[in-house]
Every structure is written in C-alpha cells, then in structure tokens.
Amino acid sequence: MNKQDVSAVKMTALNCNVYYNEKQAIKDVTIDIRADEVTAFIGPSGCGKSTFLRCLNRMNDTIAGCRVTGDIKLDGEDIYGKAMDVVQLRARVGMVFQKPNPFPKSIYENIAYGPRIHGLISNKTGLDEVVKNSLQKAGLWEEVKDRLNESGTALSGGQQQRLCIARAIAVNPEVILMDEPCSALDPIATAKIEELIEELRGRYAIVIVTHNMQQAARVSQKTAFFHLGSMVEYGATTDIFTNPRKERTKDYITGRYG
C-alpha cells in the first residue's frame, strides 16, 4: 500500500470479534474502510454483516450480552477507548436503517433536531440553512420544500429513507453506515437512493449492508463477503463479481449457496 492509500483509510478494524453472550457472531475480522469509496458487505442472513456494521458506531452497545474485542479505529482513534464520547461517535459515524424511521415530527424538525442537540447550530437562520442543505444533498429538497412543516411520517417510503439520510448528513458525519437501506423500497425509490449514494461518495465514507447483490455491484467500489461470522473475501467489487478467488464467495454470488 502506498502513502496515499494509507491517508484515504477512514476506519480500520483489526482482529474484531463479537460475542452475543457465549455465541461468537464475528470471527477475527480485519478490514480497512476507505474515505473515498463505498464499501458493501454482502452475505447470507445471519452471516454477521449487520452485526459487524453496528460495531463501527457502537450500536451494539445497546444490546445486552454483546461483547466486542479487537481494535476498531476512526482516524486512528480507538472508538471503544475510554476517551471516546459515544454520542459524538454516532454523529461522526451516522447510520441509516432498513426501515425508514423518521421522528414523528415535522420534516424540518427531523433534520434540525441533530444539529441542535449536538450544539452545532442554534439560531434559526443557521438551522434553516442546514435543513435546506441536507435535504438538497439527500435529493429531497425539491419534493418537500413547500411542506417542511408536515410530518416526516407522511412522506412515501422512499422519501422517508432520503429524509433519514438527510438527517444523518445534517450533523456533518464522516462515515455513513447503511443497513439494507433499500429493502423496504420499490425499484424507483431504490434507484434514487443508489443515485444518492453515488453522489455522496467522496464526501463521506459509506458502508452499505445489502442482500441485493446487484445493488452491491452497482453502488460499491469494494465488497466484503461474510459467511458464518468470518469475512471470507474482500476486494475490488469488479473482481468479486467477475472473478472471485474463494469458492464460497463464488457459490454465494452465483446463487449456488447451500
């Protein structure tokens, strides 16, 4: 790896293991997440890809009996270290979930809430600016600019998901984690999210968990294949989908798994 490559690494996991009580869910995963790329995690249900994703902003802390070992670093800083403020971490490493989960508040408030509680901005003009900016980046502004006071839950599923992405963007994250962001959406809404991911690439490091392999192939530059808690193969997306090195990867992506 050359020097430029090292500087583009945003997050690293080194020998990461995750246990739910006695059961080991993640086995010795080591991976670099680059700042300028979309990284996709693929694998069958229960393979650990979502569990691992949730380690990257300590969402697993909220699950009783969950234990994480190994090193996970954000810009070289241990995110499980004592000095790490978890609330701050989750602002820096934002998350978008499978089912859109807007707050039962206005569209405006959905976006303004984060910057306000994180104390980023408090005046009205500043907040207006952030709301507009975030909605624009999420490709939703044109559709909602005249009804910012309507409830976020009144939007369509695809719009709600873009609202959630706008909400994540509003607190100026460095990394955005997406856990199957399109699985509840129709193909058109899915295409819009994929287009959005493409536009956001470069500004944020993006990690996406998806069951849809075509989606992984379309949106990502790097792909990691998980199986039974291990990361079986990691590489350039084009290589993984045209010429995977591992038999298990090949069997999975060609539909021969199990």
Partner 1 sequence: MSQKHTVKSYDDDLKQLRALIAQMGGIAEAQILSAIEALQRRDADLALRVIEMDISLDNLESDVEKMTVNLIALRAPMADDLREIISALKISALLERIGDYAKNIAKRTSVLAQYAAIEPMIIIPEMGRMVSRMMSAVMGAYSSRDSVSARKIWAQDRDVDNFYNSIFRTLLTHMMENPHHITLSTHLLFIAKNIERIGDHVTNISEIIHYNVTGNVIPDVRPKGDMTSYVFNPASIQDEK
Does residue 45 belong to the site contacting partner 1 (CB under 8 A)?
no
Does residue 257 belong to the site contacting partner 1 (CB under 8 A)?
yes
Does residue 242 belong to the site contacting partner 1 (CB under 8 A)?
yes
Q: Which of residues 155-214 bind partner 1 (CB under 8 A)?
A: 213-214
Q: Considering beta carbons, is residue 44 or 70 the nearer one to partner 1? A: 44
Q: Output the six-digit token pair for 178.
A: 């997406």
Please, is 250 exposed, middle or buried when counting C-beta atoms within 10 Å of its C-beta (0-12, 13-18, 19+)? middle
Read out DSSP for 81-142?
STT--HHHHHHHEEEE-SS----SSBHHHHHHHHHHHTTS--SHHHHHHHHHHHHHHTT-HH
Minimal distance, residue 147 CB to partner 1, in Å = 38
**Which residue stretch of 24-32, 139-147, 157-165, 236-244 sits at the interface with partner 1 (rule: CB under 8 A)?**
236-244
**Which residue stretch of 52-60, 70-78, 186-194, 249-257 sits at the interface with partner 1 (rule: CB under 8 A)?**
249-257
Interhelix angle 157-170/107-117, nearest 10 degrees = 20
Beta strand spans in the chain (E): 9-20, 23-34, 38-42, 66-74, 77-78, 93-96, 175-179, 205-209, 222-227, 230-236
Q: Considering beta carbons, is residue 71 or 251 the nearer one to partner 1? A: 251
**Beta-carbon neighbour count of residue 253 at 10 Å?**
20
Spatial distance between the Cα atoms of 75 and 85, rounded to a whole number of angstroms: 15
Q: Of 76, 119, 187, 258, which lies in the binding site for partner 1, with binding defined by CB under 8 A?
A: 258
**Which residue stretch of 9-17, 133-141, 150-158, 239-247 sits at the interface with partner 1 (rule: CB under 8 A)?**
239-247
Order of all β-strands in the sheet with 66-74: 23-34, 9-20, 66-74, 77-78
Q: Considering beta carbons, is residue 204 or 234 the nearer one to partner 1? A: 234
Does residue 254 belong to the site contacting partner 1 (CB under 8 A)?
yes
Does residue 43 belong to the site contacting partner 1 (CB under 8 A)?
no
Contact map string, positions 203 to 222, toward partner 1, x by CB under 8 A? ----------xx--x-----
**Beta-carbon neighbour count of residue 56 at 10 Å?**
23
Does residue 251 belong to the site contacting partner 1 (CB under 8 A)?
yes
Does residue 241 belong to the site contacting partner 1 (CB under 8 A)?
yes
Does residue 236 belong to the site contacting partner 1 (CB under 8 A)?
no
Q: Considering beta carbons, is residue 114 or 244 the nearer one to partner 1? A: 244
Does residue 247 belong to the site contacting partner 1 (CB under 8 A)?
yes
Query: Phi and psi of 87, rounded to 5°?
Result: -65, -45
**Residue given tokens 């229960």 in the structure block:** 46
Binding site for partner 1 (CB under 8 A): 213-214, 217, 241-244, 247, 249-251, 253-258
